[in-house]
Chains A and B, each alone.
Chain A
């Protein structure tokens, strides 16, 4: 394990062009940027996996490669095909240049379901890193593959994987707006809401079961909370004027929103059922885009009280705001990393709207994208990647960039504009 991590680090500085392209999903993902050091991993085909229809090992490999941290090795058909029960010939896998190895098998069960077993090996240290068995139906192949990828990723990097998480985004097709939910790899897209009026600012509840968003179906912005479990929608804020920018408190019990009911755009706090309205900011400026810190102590927000839009923070109970961003004339859309150490936001940099990261401990700012119309950055729940909306060749696409700026991906749909991404939380 430690040896593998050391090897990963030993690659630092190497720049490898990735040419992997995945086109299977409605939302296709293309790795466009130069990579980070990538660990070579061999995932041998699981004997019996053909019965599942879609190739479980190819999904695992695609997941790991998309992270930018792994390079899947081609494994020719072997005879006899090794499984998690085989004795591992480490010398042979070393000769194939594998640092890590996944072996497994799929067996049909009498109840019509399947059982998949796998084991992960450190080829360099010649040691097993553990394995799991899952029972699944054919419909659960993708979900099972994502769990296997999460296991491998966590064992080899020390961080939780996000392959089993989901993302939300809005697609505009003609005059239709679709709020879509998909796996983190863009597959299995399902529309939660379809409307002839715009939908913006989706925000996942901390338990991943609900989305808050702004819908214009009543000819003005109104905040809804939508249960993904049963499709039930509740109006949370429909006051006179505009209602927008919902943000969940970390405990899921409250929402911060922007309301114009008392004039201007000001930040208010509500209980998650819409009761208990309380005003948090009182300025003559636009105060909007509230976001709670992970510990629930602070609310970061955008305000132009100083003349230009900048990011501020205030105690979550309300109180004197402090300015957070100082460089530049346009800094908006604050998003805290899951560990609370980094603030991602959109900055106007020489005429380009780009994603900036502010290290909150040393105040260093780094711009991590090279596109020019970036919006709505959203951290993966492990903090490793940031999903964002941008425009390429006049079309709205999603893009993902690793928080060190090394790995870049593009996610696009055919015949549609994609925007307003929100990466969902870890769920069990």
Chain B
């Protein structure tokens, strides 16, 4: 009884197969497919790229985010952070707090007047003051290295005050940016 049912089902399957096969193997269709160039199939490889992060994904690169701003400017012979830069320092401190794996290099700069080595000291004072503010606001000491470029890397090279003001600067750089 059971065998009879299986045999019947098998016969039905064979019948169904026979019903479709002749149509698919029709010579005309094969000819037609061969005459038309077959498109080369390219299956996209799922790629993981660690070197480029999508701009929109990083708040550090988003021009509308305060974190994209990295420079703090100073008055002549001064290293205290002016009030206008407080929100910027606070934003970066928050980012460092929330991203404990993030590392920051702060480069302090000075204008060109006077001794190169003493200016290196002035730039160091500026980067140290940014580091101190960030750690007071909760960033970890080991996330931040403060260094000085002194007067050696001016962004502005005219010998005048409005240029010097641009060079009295601290820059905050994250890992991968320097």
Contact = CB atoms under 8 A, between A and B. Distances in A.
Interface of A: 198, 200-201, 216, 219-221, 240-242, 244-245, 258, 260, 263-265, 286, 288-289, 302, 304, 309, 330, 332-333, 346, 348, 353, 375-376, 394, 420
A264 B149 contact: no
Interface string B101-132: 00001010000011111101110110010000
Chain B, interface size category, equals 20 to 34
A216 B122 contact: no
Contacts of B117: 200-201, 244-245, 258, 288-289, 302, 332-333
B128 A289 contact: no
B148 interface: yes
B156 to A, nearest CB: 14
B139 interface: no
Given A244-B120, A286-B122, A420-B116, A219 B105 contact: yes
A198 B119 CA distance: 14
B90 interface: no
**Shortest 10 CB-CB contacts between residues of A and residues of B:** A286-B121, A198-B152, A220-B147, A265-B121, A332-B115, A242-B148, A245-B117, A289-B117, A260-B124, A219-B178
Interface of B: 105, 107, 113-118, 120-122, 124-125, 128, 145-150, 152-153, 159, 178
Contacts of B152: 198, 200, 216
Contacts of B113: 353
28 contacts: A200-B116, A201-B116, A201-B117, A216-B149, A216-B152, A219-B105, A219-B147, A220-B105, A220-B107, A220-B147, A241-B124, A241-B146, A242-B124, A244-B120, A258-B121, A260-B124, A260-B148, A263-B128, A286-B122, A288-B117, A309-B114, A309-B118, A330-B114, A332-B115, A333-B118, A346-B115, A348-B114, A420-B116
Contacts of A346: 114-115
Contacts of A260: 124, 128, 146-148
A385 B169 CA distance: 37
Contacts of A348: 114
Given A200-B150, A241-B124, 13 more contacts: A219-B105, A219-B147, A219-B178, A220-B145, A241-B145, A242-B120, A258-B120, A258-B121, A260-B147, A264-B124, A304-B118, A304-B121, A420-B116
